[in-house]
Amino acid sequence: MGHLLGRKEREPFAIVHADIATGDEQGTVERDMTILVGADGRIEQVTPSQQAYIPADYHQIDATGKYVAPGLINAHTHLFSDGRPLTSGATSQKTQKTAIKLLHSPLGKVYMRSQAKANIMTLLNSGVTTMRTMGDVGYEAVALRNRIDADDMIGPRILASGPLLAIPGGHGDPLIALASSNPEEARRNTRINLDHGVNAIKIAATGGVTDATKLGVAGTPQMTEEEMAAICDEAHEYGVIVAAHAQGQEGVMRALKAGVDTIEHGSALNDEMLELFRHNPRSLRGYSILDPTLSAGLPLTQLSQEQLGISDIVRGNSELVVDGMVQGARDAHANGIPVGVATDTGMTFVPQYTTWREMDLLVRYAGFTPAQAFNAGTQVNARDLGFEDVTGSISIGKDADMIVLDEDPVKNLRTLASPRLVIAKGRPVWRPEVKHFPEIDQLLDTF
């Protein structure tokens, strides 16, 4: 990992002679700019270098020939795995029941905290300065978020979901879920998560791919609209946005009608669904968002089973839903529906360091320009997750969440894979490094 500037060493600094890749939808670049960051970690000044006044006690970082961009935002992460293939045995319910006992033991909790911390640091070193977890074993992400917020450790800004909410035996249960059988139990489980300090909620509206035990599970509705509405009502009362794992049109429609704020994965969208995305009266902010997670879906259909190490059931279920995920991303983008950058990190062939690939896939498969894709992973995600006042752009008064790059990301999205410097809330990570999986990277490059 990169060298971290600790809390006691924090000092105000200025990045001078930088070209700023703003992250707007047009791909605007501001040339030869100076950015001042105060000791509180906030941006104090953004001005042409020739006009900049830099106080004597500000450390100067010369960014001549470099691009400074907003830090990346990943709206769908898991911290229980590093993204190498999840074997079919590891996702069977029998194995999960054994694993859940181990992971909730004292030693297991220590292991999960260590695993989650390592994956958070990989995300940070890869340029992610804000993230949302979407299904945790316990409340390890909440604890790490609290440490970061208290300045006890450097890390990204975190929306932590805790365990997702599912039906008994449904997607995610028992390993990363609290199960319920009726609206009141669903409301109770929501309160349990909120009482543990989560600031995000996730529902399993439909079956999934990786833990399916038979063909046809993926995309099959599981939680009722009434159960999901109870969850949304409870979470929204506390100002917490709700995400739904939803594949297939019926499952997506149910989740939207229940008032979920973000649809994870998605399906092809008809006119009624598009209207609910635009105007969703039960959602927290009156509209809903699509996070297509192409990074999680496309490898499962574009690569061979031998390369992926997945079962016939996983492959078959992938083929049932992935085309719909891609079409949904296209439909949403073509109709002006907000689309977020969300990778589903930790799932098979989705390493924690590949946030940039989701932007690339939005360009290749969903009709985005590179500028629009980078905008989605910065400014759009900041707004959709409720952080537009503090991050997402390099603006005076916002937290200094920034990355320093060799190239303009709009000209070459792959430059986002190798940030030269990462800054989270004004705390630099010098020489950021991540452990790569070359065999996975090479296969992902093939499509």
Instruction: Specify the pLDDT at position 3.
Output: 43
The predicted model gives 217-223 an average pLDDT of: 95
The 10 Å Cβ neighbour count of residue 323 is: 14
The predicted model gives 327-351 an average pLDDT of: 98
Going by pLDDT thresholds of 50, 70 and 90, the confidence category of residue 6 is very low
* Cα–Cα dist 360/352, whole Å: 16
Instruction: Specify the pLDDT at position 109.
Output: 85
Instruction: Specify the pLDDT at position 107.
Output: 86
Q: Any idea what the CATH number is for the domain that residue 321 is in?
A: 3.20.20.140
91 has pLDDT over 70: no
* Cα–Cα dist 334/181, whole Å: 38
166 has pLDDT over 60: yes
8 has pLDDT over 60: no
Going by pLDDT thresholds of 50, 70 and 90, the confidence category of residue 1 is very low
The 10 Å Cβ neighbour count of residue 255 is: 31
The predicted model gives 126-147 an average pLDDT of: 98
88 has pLDDT over 90: no
Q: Do 246 and 105 have their domain in common?
A: yes
Q: Burial code of 328-364, b = ≥16 C-beta within 10 A, e = fewer?
A: bbbbbbeeebbbbbbbbbbbbbbbbbbbbbbbbbbbe
- pLDDT tens-digit series, residues 303-314: 999 999 999 999
| Gap between the terminal Cα atoms of the chain | 28
266 has pLDDT over 80: yes
Q: Is 444 a member of any domain?
A: no
Q: Do 402 and 419 have their domain in common?
A: yes
Q: Do 161 and 135 have their domain in common?
A: yes
Amino acid, single-letter form, for residue 199: N
Tell me the β-bridge partners of 165: 178, 203
Element spanning 250, H or E = helix 249-258
Q: Do 15 and 128 have their domain in common?
A: no
Cis peptide before 281 (omega within 30 of 0): no
- pLDDT tens-digit series, residues 118-129: 999 999 999 999
Q: Do 86 and 187 have their domain in common?
A: yes
59-68, 97-106, 400-409: the lowest-pLDDT one:
97-106
Q: What angle do CA 234, 185, 284 make, to 5 degrees?
A: 20
Going by pLDDT thresholds of 50, 70 and 90, the confidence category of residue 322 is very high
Strand 72-77 relative to strand 421-424, pairing = unpaired
The predicted model gives 342-348 an average pLDDT of: 97
Torsion of CA 260, 368, 298, 21, to 10 degrees: -90
Q: Do 190 and 155 have their domain in common?
A: yes
Q: Do 82 and 152 have their domain in common?
A: yes
Residue with the larger pLDDT of the pair 299 and 101: 299
Instruction: Specify the pLDDT at position 93.
Output: 60
Q: Burial code of 189-199, b = ≥16 C-beta within 10 A, e = fewer?
A: bbeebbeeebb
Share of the chain above pLDDT 90, in %: 90
As a whole number, the mean pLDDT across the chain is: 94
* Cα–Cα dist 359/166, whole Å: 29
Q: Is 234 a member of any domain?
A: yes
Going by pLDDT thresholds of 50, 70 and 90, the confidence category of residue 105 is confident
Q: Is 436 a member of any domain?
A: no
Q: Is 438 a member of any domain?
A: no
To the question of pTM greater than 0.85 for the whole model, the response is yes
Q: Is 441 a member of any domain?
A: no
Instruction: Specify the pLDDT at position 7.
Output: 40
Q: Is 192 a member of any domain?
A: yes
CB 385 within 8 A of CB 359: no
The candidate with the shortest Cα–Cα distance to 231, out of 136, 167, 145, is 167
Q: Do 332 and 425 have their domain in common?
A: no
Going by pLDDT thresholds of 50, 70 and 90, the confidence category of residue 98 is confident
Q: Is 195 a member of any domain?
A: yes
- pLDDT tens-digit series, residues 45-86: 999 999 999 999 999 999 999 999 999 999 999 999 999 986
The 10 Å Cβ neighbour count of residue 222 is: 24
CB 394 within 8 A of CB 63: no
94 has pLDDT over 70: no
Q: Do 40 and 101 have their domain in common?
A: no
Query: Dihedral of CA 195/381/321/354: which sign?
Result: negative
Q: Which domain holds residue 306?
A: 72-384
Q: Is 445 a member of any domain?
A: no
Element spanning 33, H or E = strand 29-37
The predicted model gives 221-233 an average pLDDT of: 98
Q: Do 379 and 397 have their domain in common?
A: no
The predicted model gives 153-163 an average pLDDT of: 97
Q: Do 206 and 229 have their domain in common?
A: yes
Q: Any idea what the CATH number is for the domain that residue 40 is in?
A: 2.30.40.10
- Total domains present in the chain: 2
Share of the chain above pLDDT 70, in %: 95
Q: Do 149 and 22 have their domain in common?
A: no
The predicted model gives 123-150 an average pLDDT of: 97
* Cα–Cα dist 315/346, whole Å: 18
